[in-house]
Structure 1
Amino acid sequence: MAATRSGRITRASARTQADDSPSVPLGRNDQSRRHPATVEAAAAEAAGATRRAASRRPAPAKEPLEGISQRRSVVLSFWAVILFLGLPLWYRTTTVHRAPLPYAEIGRLEDAVVRRPELPLAAVALAVDGGCALDAAGRAAAQAAANAALGGLVHVALGAPGARHTIACGGAAETVVDGGVVRLPAPSGAPDAVGAALAALFRDEAAALAAFLDERRPTSNLHDIKLTDDVHVSYTLVLPNDASAAVLAAAAAWPAAVGQFMARAGADAGAAEYLRVSFDSQVQFVGPLRAGELAPSELSNAFAEWDLGDHLPARLDASEDAPPTSVVQFVVYVHEHGGDVPPVAVAGSRSNSILVSNRGGVIVWNRPAGAAADVAAGLDRAVFPVFARLFERLLSPLPPGVAGRRAYRVAGPPRLLDGFTADRYGRVLAYRSLVATSRTLASLSHVVTALPNVAIPPGVAALIAAAIARAHAAAALLRAPAAAGPAAVRAAGAAGALADRAFFDSRMVQSMFVPTEHKIAVYLPLLGPITIPLLVGLRKVVGDLRAAQ
């Protein structure tokens, strides 16, 4: 009982001490029984105690000035790289740069060459032989008659200085070119007949020039070989495996005959000014062709099956920096006929030959069995003239529908190309190159005008300016009656090459394949994560500067 009493006294004293101590927080049930004024006083005292404790905490250490300066330098360095290197690089790579083009000059060239060309388009100077018995008035009358018939497209200048060929009058049935002399089928002292013969001589040339003015007609070359190319001609004598001794004699004479034929081509100074020709010869044995009539496709397939390229010189496989060399392969197949063996005839060909486009040609030479005739003479009569005609067809710049049988015959032993034909083809080739240059530049100006995303590098503008200058120089050389044919061909060819380089410059289409929005889409994912810490660092630097102030 005494213990119970002492316990009660202890609990009562504890409650008394708790009531007298305001610093001890009350329980939830106890606070609910306390007076509101007492609770507010206790909360205020607790808050004051918290503030006094916080005021007694040590102040944070002040950042040294060296650290602030270092952080400021790093942040500003990053921003300097972005502003002075990143942004210019981004602008350079996303901006379409367009150098100014000479649009007015391009239009004037197109007018001068195609739309409203200045006549004549080409001129040719011819000396007059004394046998024609033409005085100054007679030459003027013959010249006027020829130019009127040619429509002013080709200007014939009789007696002009710098003539490369001389006309002679005679009673021949056709026009004959004999070296540097052109013999007309016109009597002496007949200006009208001389003018008509000259008009017939250059009629296909004038028709070709007129055809190139038609914008619907393409001006691209039908063949890969041009007058100004380096050309290598490979001559192959193909014999059947069962060739007789007489045919084998032709094989023995083949290299010397080819060398003599090519020596005549090199001796023609007029043709040598255009062409640089090398050659080789070989003999090959194959299975015999089928006797009788052959379709051109059969002969063409046989040409493709014969392995004729292993002997070609290594210089034809030169690097891209070396000048290109066109390869022409001429093949003559020797066939012996007699008795039950008929000759081989190529359907639709009077010369028993075919032209393999851009590659050369094949001739079938039928020889009677046991013939002992002179092999060299037979080649000059039956083979080499056909080679010359095939080679001329490969070089001809005349458009389809114009090319036909030429209005003259070349006298003397056959040669690969004569000077008179080279001059005619040179004038046509030069003007065709001018038309192609004009149309290429006009197309380029239309493209860059219609597509603003096409870049125009300064190098392209320089190429266009150079092409225009070369084209005007070539046009002036074509109209000059002096002997400027080779120079005109080379100037016009250079203008066309420059125009093609400008049109197909790869730098112009880069922005078309990689538009600006694609570039921005690539840059933003790279720059976004870098920009956020840079902005935070810049904000901190600005705060430091304000605090320093």
Structure 2
Amino acid sequence: MAATIVEKWRGRNAALAIAAVVIIIGIPLWWKTTETYRAGLPYSEISQLENLQLQLTVAVEVVFSRGTLTPEQQKKVPLTDTHEKEHSVDGKTNLKYRYETKYRTATVMEEDALTMPTPEEADLSLFRLSESPCGSVVVYVIPESSTLLPEGASAYVGKRRTAVLRGGRGRPGGLAAVLEALGPALEQVVQTMSFTHQDITAALTDRVPLGKTNREGRADGMRAFKSSPGYEITFSLLNPDPKSHDLHWDIEGAVKGYIQPLLDKLTPIANFSVDSQILYYAILGVSPRHDASIDGYTLSADSLPHVINPVEARLGSNAASSFPVLNFLLYVPDAPHSPLYIRDHSGKTVPTNAFHSPRWGGIMVFNVQEHYGEEPRFPVHINIDMVRVMGVFLAQLRLLLGIQQVQAPPGFLLQSPGNEGVTDWELDRLLWARTAENIATATTTLTSLAQLLDEIGNIVINDNIAEQVYSAVVSLQLAVAELEAGNLAFAFQASKEAILSSERAFFDPSLLHLLYFPDDQKFAIYIPLFLPMSVPILLSLLKIAGEYRKRRSERVKTD
């Protein structure tokens, strides 16, 4: 009898010990070893990005030359003035434009530069005196009697970050009256050389101008490529009739003389790689129509979208690069369909005989009948005029990279960028837009990633992803701060780092490892393993509980 009681006592204690080990140690250990690892993310800081406020600060320096201020007015300079404007995009992102304007009088050397015979020489001389920082604007005010600007011109914007504005004589009154009279023209100069509200709004809304819903307006807003750390540029010569045309093009020299100077100026924005190829027997996707009035063939504007697809299949460049590819195609028509001209929507012949496709590239048709001679012998040896070709491709490249053609206000003269392909202030305009675009894109990416990870709790968040997210948030905050401080170059680099880090985190392959392994599947896998062990333990616990209740009831009856 005593042995039986001892045996029951041992069995009860063994069952309780096993149950305690399973409940206290086994289940927490199993739960911990099978849980999804999720590194901590700055969710609160990411949520604050939705209410991001951008303040773009432009440093403006106004320099008065001799004869624009009276002696009494000159005593009140130098001085500093700040002007702010506030706008909104879709009622969400507040935009503040702050113009920090400093007024001073010209130095002796600057006065000498302003006496140059032409504004181009004056612009170069002023640039040699001092180089303005990125994003800044320097405006030199000259008297009305100055012969530096041609008659009828009120302002001249050079290749650098300086402009010349025709002012008045030393107006009587206070300096405030002079500045008030100069204000509208000065604001036009600053917006021409920096940015307008439409530029920043288009960058924040995927480059689609607000209020433009027609096809032409939407195409203009979408033709530029989105901001990217690198671009691939491919020049292709299409020779559909090698038996008739022996084509030669000096693409290497043309790129070095026309394209490379532009790419060198754009080095702070992105990395570029350039290659070229010749495609034989490459035909267009549509058949041109014969037009007896011009004794040639034509391609209408409606048929141009169908031209690209058959040719694109032979380019072979899109699959070889992770960066956006800009395609520039030079098409020489075959002899039976020459000459070939492109017509716009109004039916007029396009002067350049070229067209561009938004966010893809451009195509130029190059007719070669003038090389045939009186009695041509095929194949005709043809040296392509690269000056005419690269002039068209350079203009298309500027548009595709987002360097928009500025519409100068009446009376404004804009100096041509020349061989460099882009002026310093045009580069600044591009940097302003790209910085705003990068900030908007990185903010959207981080917000989407945070929402995804918050809704699906089974996605693994590795430490490297958390590092990228933290880096993107810090870079975004730095970009906003640098914009507010007026440091455009640093703001762009910070925004570039933000978009790179955010996209590396968003597209990390490790985020998909346990995407389709939720908790219910985990229980379905482990229950068949734990159930055979759990049933005896559970039954033992139930038996022990029953015996305990039975003894307790007997004790109550005895009492």
Q: TM-score, normalized by length of structure 1?
A: 0.61
Select 2:532's aligned residue among 529, 534, 537: 529
**Residues 1:387 and 2:393 aligned together:** yes
Aligned twin of 1:235: 235
Describe the SS at the equivalent of 2:256. Answer: helix
- Paired amino acid for 1:111: N
Select 1:467's aligned residue among 459, 466, 472: 472
Aligned twin of 2:325: 327
Equivalent residues of 1:142, 1:192 under 8 A apart: no
Bigger proportion of residues as helix = 1
**Residues 1:121 and 2:118 aligned together:** no
Partners in 2 of 1:145 and 1:384 — Cα distance?
A: 44
Aligned twin of 1:84: 25
Select 2:272's aligned residue among 266, 277, 280: 277
Matches within 5 A, 1:6-405: 80=21, 84-90=25-31, 93=34, 99=40, 101-103=42-44, 105-113=45-53, 117=54, 120-124=55-59, 153=97, 155=99, 157=101, 162-164=132-134, 167=139, 171=149, 178-180=158-160, 182-183=162-163, 186=166, 191-192=182-183, 194-202=185-193, 205-210=196-201, 222=222, 225-226=225-226, 229-241=229-241, 248=247, 251-266=248-263, 268=265, 271-286=266-281, 290=288, 291-296=296-301, 298-306=303-311, 317=320, 324-334=322-332, 342-348=339-345, 351-366=352-367, 369-370=370-371, 379-380=386-387, 382-396=388-402
- Paired amino acid for 1:209: I
CA 155–193 in structure 1, closer or farther in 2 if over 3 Å, else same: closer
CA 145–344 in structure 1, closer or farther in 2 if over 3 Å, else same: farther
Equivalent residues of 1:146, 1:198 under 8 A apart: no
Deviations along 1:375-419, whole A, 9 cap, x unmatched? 999543x3323322322232229xxxxx77544756254555544
CA 157–240 in structure 1, closer or farther in 2 if over 3 Å, else same: farther
Bigger proportion of residues as strand = 2
Aligned twin of 1:488: 491
Equivalent residues of 1:388, 1:417 under 8 A apart: no
Partners in 2 of 1:308 and 1:541 — Cα distance?
A: 77
Describe the SS at the equivalent of 1:153. Answer: strand
CA 93–187 in structure 1, closer or farther in 2 if over 3 Å, else same: same
Describe the SS at the equivalent of 2:252. Answer: helix
Partners in 1 of 2:530 and 2:168 — Cα distance?
A: 89
CA 410–286 in structure 1, closer or farther in 2 if over 3 Å, else same: farther
Deviations along 1:412-431, whole A, 9 cap, x unmatched? 54555544322211111112
CA 199–73 in structure 1, closer or farther in 2 if over 3 Å, else same: same
- Paired amino acid for 1:495: A
Equivalent residues of 1:240, 1:287 under 8 A apart: yes
Describe the SS at the equivalent of 2:528. Answer: helix
Partners in 2 of 1:333 and 1:413 — Cα distance?
A: 27
Deviations along 1:440-490, whole A, 9 cap, x unmatched? 4455666677x4857784746655443332112101222333xx4343222
1:236 to partner: Cα distance: 2.1
Equivalent residues of 2:479, 2:495 under 8 A apart: yes
1:277 to partner: Cα distance: 2.1
Equivalent residues of 2:201, 2:207 under 8 A apart: no
CA 369–141 in structure 1, closer or farther in 2 if over 3 Å, else same: farther
**Residues 1:520 and 2:490 aligned together:** no
- Paired amino acid for 2:30: L
- Paired amino acid for 2:56: L
Equivalent residues of 1:139, 1:191 under 8 A apart: no
Partners in 1 of 2:327 and 2:69 — Cα distance?
A: 46
Deviations along 1:262-312, whole A, 9 cap, x unmatched? 3432554xx232232222233444467734331346444444333786686
Describe the SS at the equivalent of 1:392. Answer: helix
Question: Which is greater in Rg?
Answer: 1
**What value does the CA root-mean-square deviation take over the aligned residues?**
5.8
Describe the SS at the equivalent of 2:365. Answer: strand
1:371 to partner: Cα distance: 9.2
- Paired amino acid for 2:477: H
Partners in 1 of 2:513 and 2:282 — Cα distance?
A: 54
Partners in 2 of 1:266 and 1:87 — Cα distance?
A: 60
Partners in 2 of 1:92 and 1:79 — Cα distance?
A: 19
1:529 to partner: Cα distance: 1.4
State, as a whole percentage, how many aligned pairs show the same letter. 18
Describe the SS at the equivalent of 2:133. Answer: coil
- Paired amino acid for 2:232: H
| Contiguous gaps of at least 5 residues in structure 1 | 1-60, 319-323, 398-402, 543-549
Alignment coverage as a number of residue pairs: 455
- Paired amino acid for 1:293: T
1:362 to partner: Cα distance: 0.7
Describe the SS at the equivalent of 1:347. Answer: coil
Equivalent residues of 1:96, 1:511 under 8 A apart: no
Aligned twin of 2:376: none
CA 306–410 in structure 1, closer or farther in 2 if over 3 Å, else same: farther
Select 1:428's aligned residue among 429, 433, 443: 433
Partners in 2 of 1:361 and 1:145 — Cα distance?
A: 44
Partners in 1 of 2:199 and 2:306 — Cα distance?
A: 33
CA 520–110 in structure 1, closer or farther in 2 if over 3 Å, else same: same
Partners in 2 of 1:174 and 1:122 — Cα distance?
A: 26
Describe the SS at the equivalent of 2:471. Answer: helix
Partners in 1 of 2:79 and 2:384 — Cα distance?
A: 41
Describe the SS at the equivalent of 2:366. Answer: strand
Deviations along 1:162-188, whole A, 9 cap, x unmatched? 524755675365977654255557468
Aligned twin of 2:119: none
- Paired amino acid for 2:299: L
Equivalent residues of 2:333, 2:339 under 8 A apart: no
Partners in 2 of 1:193 and 1:539 — Cα distance?
A: 90
Partners in 2 of 1:438 and 1:415 — Cα distance?
A: 34
Partners in 2 of 1:478 and 1:292 — Cα distance?
A: 53
Describe the SS at the equivalent of 2:233. Answer: strand
Q: TM-score, normalized by length of structure 2?
A: 0.60
